[in-house]
Amino acid sequence: MNRKERYSYRYLGDGFKVSNDTRETHLNNNDLIVGSSGSSKTGSIVYAQLKSLKDSSLIVADTKGRLAKMFSEELNCKGYNIKTLDFVNPENSDVTYNPLDYIRRDERGNYREQDIAKLAACLVPLGYHHEAFWPMSARTVLEFAVAFTLMALPEENHNMNIVESIIGKLMVNDRKYFEPWISEHYNTLAASRYIQIQGMRTADKTIASIFAIVNNAIKSFAYKEYRVIFEPYYNSLRTKEEWEENPFAMDDFDVDERRLDFSSLGKEKTVLFLNISDSDHSLDDVVNLFYAQALQGLMAEADAQDDGQLNVPVRIIMDDFASSAIIPDFDKLISVVRSRDIWLTLCIQSFTQLETLYSHSQAMTVINNCDHIVYLGSNDMQSAQFIGTRALKTPEAVLCTDRQKEFILEAGKPVSLVNKIPSYSFELEEENDDQLSA
């Protein structure tokens, strides 16, 4: 496959399209979409991405559940595999998402300690606490619980609900349960973390506070209605008596077929609709863990290829990216995904919102690694000042711009003021090279 067949275009404004071939444009394919509520981030930009999709796989946040209904049949006709992970109505999911599935093994068959640490870091980010001691200690507890679950328990028990039960035993200091295994496996991450936790017990209030942080971090995995997603071996259709008799009987429920494999998106064209609520943020930490593990899995798949690129490029559209949860080291990740043919579209309401979760330097790194910034309009003065500086306009002029227009900031070029793509009405036209922005 030559590059012209491999790479198509994406549409960022009315009549404004950009090639996805980074060698042709000399730009990365990361887009930052900035606009307040009602500015058509989904109806204009995301809708157009789906309508014109033909060269890449896609993970797209479907906050209202409309996109899957609108595009599943159309994309299927284009040859795409369609998958749905529904965090609003979990019974509608056709794939499962178990965070422990993405803890890799090394060449000796041991679970990678770095992956366990990353999972703990995603669930207990440093940014939520003024003192690093508390989240770091909570991570120690979580790392132990995950490591013990993976190393000491059978595969059917490898899920976050079991991790929660392990933490419960740890809270009551059930030494008879843990220490026989620890004594036989002293040279493991689980044993190391267990010893550290025992050392924390000298101060009752301290250890109680640490467990409170851990329990808050994993509470979302305990909701019964979500077990059908988080526990691959859970069959919600069986009665209570059937479940108690044999909790892991699956009947015709194919565990491996339903298990979400991130690497598959880089092998064959796939669209994964991620249905998340824009009004209930109780699962935001889980969603951000999902994004972090998706990036990790896709990067590992790319690195396994001879040319260091995915066989099929993958774009991830993160709606409400800066709403309430942090992806650890995201400012570093966004800097290295380009060469692997992983593309990101980040939708935020304002630059101020981005800095509420990430430090100023981290936020600027994220912004600087998006070679296309689409400003759809907002009432945020900081955003207006940023756009105005690039567009040679005053912040007041930016704020007073007609909401049917948008500013497009493309690296290395003057700012463009163009009409927005009308909401939910984009139609793909014949490709004309004269329309290309780069």
- What CATH number did the domain enclosing 318 receive? 3.40.50.300
Tokens (6 digits) for 326: 């942090």
384 versus 432: the higher-pLDDT residue is: 384
Residue 126 pLDDT level (bands cut at 50, 70, 90): confident
The answer as to whether 297 is a domain residue is yes
Residue 250 pLDDT level (bands cut at 50, 70, 90): very low
- Residues 271, 392, single domain; the answer is yes
Count other Cβ atoms within 10 Å, centred on residue 385. 14
Task: Write the pLDDT tens digit of every residue in 261-317.
Answer: 999 999 999 999 999 988 888 888 899 899 999 999 999 999 999 999 999 999 999
pLDDT value, residue 240: 52
pLDDT value, residue 281: 83
Element containing residue 356 per DSSP (H, E):
helix 351-357
User: Which of 177, 207, 230 is the last residue in one of the domains?
Assistant: 230
- Residues 14, 139, single domain; the answer is no
- Residues 79, 115, single domain; the answer is no
The answer as to whether 307 is a domain residue is yes
Structural domains in the chain (count): 2
What does the pLDDT average to over 145-173? 95
* Ramachandran region, residue 150 (left: φ > 0; alpha: ψ -120 to 50; beta: rest): alpha
Q: For residue 254, is pLDDT > 70?
A: no
- Cβ distance 89 to 297 under 8 Å? no
Q: For residue 436, is pLDDT > 90?
A: no
Burial (CB count <10 Å: 0-12, 13-18, 19+), residue 86: buried
Residue 432 pLDDT level (bands cut at 50, 70, 90): low
In the chain, % of residues over pLDDT 70? 91
The answer as to whether 245 is a domain residue is no
What does the pLDDT average to over 175-200? 96
d(CA 143, CA 377): 43
Q: What residues are paired with 377 via a beta bridge?
A: 35
320 versus 162: the higher-pLDDT residue is: 162
The answer as to whether 244 is a domain residue is no
Out of 3-7, 20-24, 190-194, least confident range? 3-7
Q: Which residue has the tokens 């549409």?
A: 11
DSSP letter string over 130-183?
SSTHHHHHHHHHHHHHHHHHHHHS-GGG-SHHHHHHHHHHHHTT-HHHHHHHHH
The answer as to whether 247 is a domain residue is no
What does the pLDDT average to over 318-327? 78
| Among candidate residues 304, 311, 297, 312, the one with its CA nearest the CA of residue 259 | 297
User: Which of 208, 230, 252 is the last residue in one of the domains?
Assistant: 230
- Residues 141, 89, single domain; the answer is no
User: Which of 214, 230, 246 is the last residue in one of the domains?
Assistant: 230
Sheet with 416-419, side-by-side order of all strands: 81-86, 270-275, 57-61, 314-318, 342-348, 31-35, 372-377, 405-410, 416-419
- Residues 83, 105, single domain; the answer is no
What is the length of the chain?
438
Q: For residue 238, is pLDDT > 80?
A: no
- Residues 159, 76, single domain; the answer is no
Sign of the CA dihedral 425, 426, 430, 436? positive
What does the pLDDT average to over 148-166? 95
pLDDT value, residue 321: 85
Q: For residue 352, is pLDDT > 70?
A: yes
Tokens (6 digits) for 154: 């059978």
Count other Cβ atoms within 10 Å, centred on residue 359. 11
The answer as to whether 248 is a domain residue is no
- Residues 173, 77, single domain; the answer is no
- Residues 196, 287, single domain; the answer is no
Q: In Å, how far are 301, 359, 395, 419 from 399, measured between CA atoms?
A: 43, 25, 6, 16
What does the pLDDT average to over 243-272? 77
- Cβ distance 231 to 98 under 8 Å? yes
- Residues 89, 125, single domain; the answer is no
* Residues of the domain holding 147: 100-230
- Residues 427, 339, single domain; the answer is yes
Q: What residues are paired with 111 via a beta bridge?
A: 105
pLDDT value, residue 97: 96
The answer as to whether 252 is a domain residue is no
d(CA 207, CA 215): 12
Longest dimension (CA), the chain: 73
Q: For residue 367, is pLDDT > 60?
A: yes
Convert 110-139 to b/e letters by CB count within 10 Å (16 or more is b).
ebebebbbbbbbbbbbeeeeeeeebbebbb
Q: For residue 363, is pLDDT > 80?
A: yes
Q: For residue 131, is pLDDT > 90?
A: no
- Residues 202, 104, single domain; the answer is yes
d(CA 322, CA 12): 21
Q: What is the mean pLDDT of the chain?
A: 90
In the chain, % of residues over pLDDT 90? 75
| Among candidate residues 65, 123, 80, 30, the one with its CA nearest the CA of residue 315 | 30
Element containing residue 206 per DSSP (H, E):
helix 204-218
The answer as to whether 235 is a domain residue is no
- Residues 38, 125, single domain; the answer is no
pLDDT value, residue 247: 54
pLDDT value, residue 146: 98
Tokens (6 digits) for 89: 């109505």
